[in-house]
Structures are given as C-alpha cells and as structure tokens.
C-alpha cells in the first residue's frame, strides 16, 4: 500500500514548477481540492485562451459580444459561425421605429420576449400604463374609441387585465 502524503515538500513544488504549474495552484489542488500530491504536481494546466481569442476575433469583425455571449454561441454553433454571425438583425424596421419613439433596443426585445406584438412593442411609450395612455391622450396621440379599447385589452389572458 502506497502511503498517502500529508503535506507537500519543497521537492514537490520544484517538480510542479518544472511541469509549468505555479506554487499557488499546487497548493490549491492539494490542500483545498483534495487532489493527491502526484496528481497536483503533474496534471497539466488547462489553458483558457481559446475563448478570449474568439471574442477578440468577433470584435475585429464588428460583432461586439461578451465572453458569456460567446460561450453560449460556442455551445450552439461552430467557432467560425460564432465569430462571424451578427448578433441580431440590425435592419429591423420595428427596432428603428422603437428607437424613433424613444424605446431602447433592449426594451423592444424585452417586450417581444414577453409576448408583445411587434407594432405595440415598438410604439408603446416607456413607463406609461395602459390606463394613462387611454385616459389621458396627448395632443399628438388622438386616440379613437376603438384604439382605447385595443390598448385596454392588450394583454389578453394576462393576470393584470383586471387592474383597469
């Protein structure tokens, strides 16, 4: 039976250094992660440069993506596609309409994700309740009775329908 080491020796740290493993990592592997001494000083360190290189390449292609966004893309598509596929259709007419109406791209996509139709998501004023828009139309928003009824019944099946 091989005796189990209770602590790392200076020789262990020297072997680890010759294998390209830092003292801090050997210490962490052995004392914190409960690896065997042999494994802690000999198992190669995984290099995490691929993700960083892909993010930099995407940025050079004009695709501004975060590290977590790139990781999600790498699970779904090849590295080449992850680096070269644009994030979203930037020419969406509804996104342009939303931005003209003072609605951010993020707010538009958030609304779409919650089930809003494209027209409503791109035109509904930010921070306005349905009641405020229906009851207090501004001079530029002359609303007909049918438009008011449409606004008040936007979210069919929503638990918030009964609030007004």
pLDDT tens by residue, 7-54: 899 999 999 999 889 999 999 999 999 899 999 999 988 766 888 899
- How do residues 79-113 score in pLDDT, each as one tens digit? 899 999 887 655 478 888 888 988 888 888 888 88
Torsion of CA 26, 31, 35, 41, to 10 degrees: 20
Residue with tokens 């007419």: 93
Contact 50, 57 (CB under 8 A): no
Encoded tokens for 96: 């342009």
- Is the pTM value of this prediction over 0.75? no
**pLDDT computed for residue 91 by the predictor:** 45
Task: State the DSSP code for 31.
Answer: I
Q: Is the pLDDT of residue 142 over 70?
A: no
**Can you give the residue ranges of every domain in the chain?**
10-42, 49-84, 90-126, 127-157
**pLDDT computed for residue 62 by the predictor:** 85
Interatomic CA distance for residues 86 and 58, integer angstroms: 9
- How do residues 118-134 score in pLDDT, each as one tens digit? 888 888 888 776 555 55
Tell me how far CA of residue 59 lies from CA of 52, 75, 120, in angstroms. Answer: 11, 19, 33
In the chain, the N- to C-terminal Cα span, in Å, equals: 77
Phi then psi for residue 64, to 5 deg, are -85, 100
């Amino acid at each position: 039976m091989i005796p189990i080491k209770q602590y790392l020796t200076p020789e262990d740290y020297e072997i680890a250094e010759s294998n390209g493993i830092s003292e801090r990592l050997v210490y962490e592997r052995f004392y914190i992660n409960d690896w065997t001494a042999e494994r802690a000083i000999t198992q190669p360190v995984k290099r995490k440069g691929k993700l960083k290189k892909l993010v930099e390449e995407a940025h050079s292609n004009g695709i501004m993506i975060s590290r977590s966004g790139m990781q999600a893309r790498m699970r779904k598509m090849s590295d080449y596609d992850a680096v070269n596929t644009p994030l979203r259709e930037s020419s969406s007419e509804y996104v342009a309409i939303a931005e003209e109406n003072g609605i951010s791209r993020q707010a538009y996509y958030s609304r779409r994700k919650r089930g809003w139709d494209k027209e409503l998501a791109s035109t509904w004023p930010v921070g306005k309740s349905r009641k405020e828009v229906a009851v207090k139309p501004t001079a530029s928003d002359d609303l007909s009775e049918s438009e008011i009824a449409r606004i008040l019944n936007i979210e069919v099946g929503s638990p918030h329908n009964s609030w007004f």
